[in-house]
Every structure is written in structure tokens, then in C-alpha cells.
């Protein structure tokens, strides 16, 4: 057996010998280790786990046998021992004192009674990421929630080192189970059959990699229809978690009503025009389509597709169809404020102007019936060109390089600016997701994929309401 003194003082998989002399392996995270670990530490544990598992399997082989290079998603390693089991057998020391944990690290934990039992199985999604974008984190969060429900795991969210600040600055707390989260040192990034699982962008290959897709894609279907089970995981997460803060949700509801009212056909005719949503991602996200891979899909591609969709919908003519076409709207959202001023979108309406990311140009007017309550240019930095990671990490800082790897906590000013960026993005998605009869976007952008989920499978995929103009690609889920 491995004694307390022999255990490493850092998180790592270790090989132990049980009371029967059999070799097992487990993941040792000292209870006093600050939670959560750095993303790189979680990724490293998963890499080392594979090596240690192969070593232990070889020890148990009666003859030389290669460790399988590829396992089913739900393969259970017979030689792995979970943390709780290892503590019960004296192979790990357990909690001698409370682990160093950020206060309220798990969102909504205060809602769970102290006398509640620890969850039998759980999944904790760690919001921290080295990716400045919000879209990938959101899509992973939603998909993880759906997967947790499928696996019968209690679901928790940790926002203690999230670059965008507090989860509750954007959303209502997630639905809480009736059980308590486990001790933090029992939460592991892999193997997937661990009782208490950590999921984050650092573990994307382990959690949502090839084995996940192979297991959950529907082999009886073709093309995008194979992905329906994975799409539905994300949809389940969207329905449970995308509950915007009260002020933002009130604005979205009002904005949706305003836009839909503009499509009403005056009496005596009945019906409504169509709303075509346009999501334009620029900045540091480039298209999949080869000819535009170093630039962006031209704006006229969006406007031309919107007109084509309108003409297809109302091609039969007649006075009612003509009236409906005249009362149709193009509603646009973009990370690049200059897109709103383009000739191609001169007749389009901005999705929202509650929080507007502005360019340095003083001539950039606010669209809509009223001025935005938030319109900011961060000192000499405008948002023309769109969202760039370096610009995000530099917000509110004067001397720190624009990278996530600085390990310098953001200032209060930086967090405030990041919150405005995040809320603007979420408001754009919320409005487009609720008003769009058709949506035109580029699947290379995470926002485009999120909007497909928000529209729902039938509307987006079956009825072809979601339209990708970035190459011949269908909707796809989490990238890895």
C-alpha cells in the first residue's frame, strides 16, 4: 500500500497495491490543493492517466498484451480505483482539514441544506478557460448539462476563476440538486467513469472527443441527422441554464415584442411578415470555406441569402404575400460595430442596442428607437474589426500582455468591461434566437451553432430555419 508520506504533494495519478497485493491506479489530489486546478493541470492528469492505466494493465497481463488504443466511451477500467473507495481502503488519507476553496466556488451551493447528503454521482463544469470567447464555453456547458442528466449525475457550475466574472452576473443560478457537491479533491477530470467528474474546456478531448461522438451519433441516420442526440444534449442545457438576469431578460422580451410588432400586416389583411436573423462573426474567427479562410465571408453573401429566403417564401405572389414580404425584417447581430453601418445592411435592424460595443468612429449612430444604455470604447481601443482575444485580455489593463496566461487577477474595471462584452453577446443571441424565422450565419462561429440550438431541432434542422453560408457544412457541436 502507499502510505500518506509516500503520496506526491501535487495532483497526479499513482499506482498503489491493495490489501490483496493487486496493483491498482488512482488519481491523488491533495485535499489542501486550491480548487479548481489550473486548466493545464486537468489536461495533464488526463494524459498521464492513459499512460498509468496502460502500465497497470500490462502488470496484470499474463502474457505481453498491447493496451487497447481506443476504448468505448463508457469503458470501465477494472484497475481504476475512485477516490472515495481508495480513502475507504486506506489507500488515500482523505480530508484531514478543509481544502482551500474559493468561497461560493460552486454556483448556488448555498441553496443546498448543510445536512443534505453528498451526491452519489456528480459533474462539475468549470467555467475557467484560456479561450477569450464565450461561445465555446456556453456550448460545452449546455452539452455537459444534457450529458449529466443522461448519466444521472448531479450538475454543478464553478465560476471561481471565470474570465467573465460571476455566473450570476449573467444568468440566474442553475437548477440545484437536493444533494451536496463532493469534497473538491474527489472531483476528477477523467476517467469518464469517475464518480465525481470535472468538465471544462481543458478536458474537451476526454469528455467530448471522438469516443463521445462515436457513442452518441445515431448510426441509422445520415449527415446532420446523425447528430440529433448530441444536439438534444445542448438543447436540454439551453432550456435549463439560459435564464438571463432579470434586467437583461426584461429587455429581451420587450425587444422581441417590438421586432415582431413591426412585421404585423395592417388590417384588413391578416398575418405577419418574416424575420430573417443575420449573425456576422468577424474578429479572430475566420471561415471554414477555403477562399475566405484568411478573411471573412463577404457581407453581400448574407444579404443575398436573406433576399433569396424571402423570395422563396413569398414566390407565389398575390397581395397577401406581397404585404408579408413588405413587412418582413432583417435583424442583424455582429461583434464588429462597423457591420451595422455597411451598405449591405442599410435596411437591416440591429438585434439589440441595450449594450452596444462601439467603434472609435464618432459618426457611428445607435440604431433603434432609443440610445443604448451602454456604449463604450475602452480608452483608445475601438471594436472595429470585431472580437479579438488579445483585445479582450487587455481590457482595463495598461501594462499586461493580452493573454490569458498572465496569472494576474483582473481589476474591477477590467471585470466590468468584460461583463459588458459578455452581456452584449448574450443579448444578441437571445434576441436572434427568439425572433428568427430564418437565420443566416457561418457555422465556423460558435454563436451560429448556439443559435441553432436555441431555435430547436425541428425549426433549425428539419424545417431548415438555420442556414449556414460558410461552405457546405451542417450544424456541429463542441469542437475538440
pLDDT tens profile 123-176 = 999 999 988 999 999 999 999 999 999 999 999 999 999 999 999 999 999 999
pLDDT at 404: 61
By the 8 A CB rule, do 151 and 145 touch? no
CA distance 11 to 251: 45
pLDDT at 362: 52
Q: Give me the chain's average pLDDT, please.
A: 89
pLDDT at 6: 77
Give 178's DSSP letter.
Answer: S
pLDDT at 368: 45
CA distance 40 to 404: 12
For the stretch 95-122, pLDDT in tens is 755 444 444 569 989 888 889 999 999 9
pLDDT above 70 as % of the chain: 88
Q: What is the DSSP string of 1-26?
A: ---GGGS-SS-EEEEEE-TTS-EEEE
CA distance 394 to 400: 7
Give 337's DSSP letter.
Answer: G
The answer to pTM > 0.85 is yes
Q: What is the DSSP string of 394-433?
A: HTT-SSS-SSGGG-PPPPHHHHHHHHHHHHHHHHHHHHHH
Query: Rounded mean pLDDT of 368-378?
Result: 46
| Half-sphere exposure in the Cβ direction for 217 (13 Å, CA) | 17
Identify the H or E element spanning 51.
Answer: helix 39-60
By the 8 A CB rule, do 100 and 35 touch? yes
By the 8 A CB rule, do 369 and 349 touch? no
For the stretch 427-479, pLDDT in tens is 999 999 999 999 999 999 999 999 999 999 999 999 999 999 999 999 999 98
Task: Reply yes or no on whether the pLDDT at 403 is more than 90.
Answer: no
For the stretch 30-62, pLDDT in tens is 998 999 999 999 999 999 999 999 999 888 875
CA distance 78 to 53: 10
Of 397, 46, 22, 402, nearest in space to 206 by CA: 46
Amino acid at each position: 500500500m502507499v502510505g500518506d508520506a509516500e503520496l506526491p504533494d501535487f495532483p497526479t495519478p499513482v499506482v498503489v497495491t491493495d490489501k490483496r497485493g493487486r496493483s491498482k491506479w488512482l488519481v491523488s489530489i491533495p485535499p489542501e490543493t486550491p480548487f479548481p486546478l489550473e486548466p493545464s493541470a486537468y489536461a495533464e492528469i488526463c494524459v498521464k492517466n492513459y499512460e498509468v492505466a496502460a502500465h497497470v494493465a500490462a502488470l496484470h497481463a499474463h502474457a505481453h498484451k498491447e493496451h487497447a488504443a481506443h476504448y468505448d466511451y463508457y469503458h470501465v477500467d477494472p484497475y481504476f480505483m475512485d477516490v472515495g473507495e481508495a480513502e475507504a481502503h486506506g489507500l488515500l488519507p482523505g480530508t484531514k482539514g478543509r481544502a482551500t476553496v474559493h468561497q461560493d466556488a460552486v454556483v448556488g451551493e448555498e441553496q443546498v441544506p448543510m445536512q443534505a447528503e453528498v451526491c452519489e454521482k456528480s459533474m462539475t463544469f468549470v467555467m475557467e478557460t484560456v479561450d477569450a470567447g464565450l461561445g465555446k464555453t456556453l456550448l460545452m456547458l449546455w452539452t455537459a448539462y444534457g450529458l449529466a442528466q443522461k448519466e444521472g449525475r448531479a450538475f454543478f457550475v464553478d465560476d471561481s476563476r471565470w474570465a467573465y466574472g460571476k455566473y450570476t452576473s449573467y444568468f440566474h443560478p442553475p437548477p440545484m440538486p437536493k444533494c451536496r457537491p463532493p469534497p473538491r479533491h474527489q472531483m476528477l477530470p477523467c476517467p469518464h467513469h469517475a464518480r465525481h467528474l470535472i468538465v471544462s474546456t481543458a478536458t474537451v478531448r476526454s469528455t467530448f472527443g471522438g469516443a463521445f461522438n462515436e457513442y452518441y451519433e445515431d448510426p441509422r441516420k445520415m449527415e446532420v441527422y446523425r447528430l440529433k442526440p448530441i444536439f438534444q444534449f445542448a438543447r436540454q442545457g439551453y432550456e435549463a441554464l439560459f435564464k438571463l438576469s432579470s434586467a437583461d431578460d426584461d429587455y429581451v422580451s420587450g425587444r422581441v415584442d417590438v421586432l415582431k410588432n413591426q412585421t404585423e400586416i395592417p388590417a384588413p389583411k391578416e398575418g405577419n411578415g418574416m424575420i430573417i436573423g443575420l449573425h456576422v462573426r468577424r474578429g479572430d474567427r475566420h471561415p471554414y470555406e477555403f477562399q475566405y479562410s484568411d478573411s471573412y465571408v463577404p457581407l453581400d453573401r448574407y444579404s443575398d441569402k436573406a433576399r433569396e429566403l424571402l423570395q422563396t417564401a413569398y414566390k407565389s405572389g398575390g397581395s397577401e404575400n406581397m404585404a408579408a414580404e413588405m413587412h418582413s425584417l432583417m435583424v442583424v447581430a455582429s461583434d464588429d460595430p462597423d457591420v451595422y453601418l455597411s451598405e449591405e445592411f442599410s435596411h437591416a435592424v440591429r438585434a439589440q442596442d441595450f449594450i452596444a460595443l462601439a467603434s472609435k468612429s464618432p459618426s457611428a449612430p445607435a440604431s433603434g428607437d432609443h440610445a443604448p444604455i451602454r456604449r463604450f470604447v475602452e480608452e483608445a481601443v475601438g471594436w472595429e474589426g470585431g472580437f479579438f482575444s488579445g483585445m479582450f485580455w487587455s481590457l482595463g489593463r495598461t501594462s499586461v500582455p493580452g493573454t490569458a496566461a498572465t496569472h494576474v487577477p483582473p481589476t474591477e474595471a477590467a471585470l466590468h468591461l468584460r461583463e459588458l462584452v459578455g452581456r452584449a453577446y448574450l443579448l444578441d443571441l437571445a434576441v436572434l434566437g427568439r425572433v428568427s424565422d430564418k437565420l443566416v450565419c457561418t457555422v465556423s462561429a460558435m454563436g451560429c451553432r448556439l443559435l441553432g440550438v436555441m431555435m430547436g431541432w425541428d425549426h433549425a434542422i428539419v424545417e431548415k430555419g438555420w442556414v449556414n453560408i460558410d461552405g457546405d457544412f451542417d450544424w456541429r457541436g463542441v469542437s475538440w
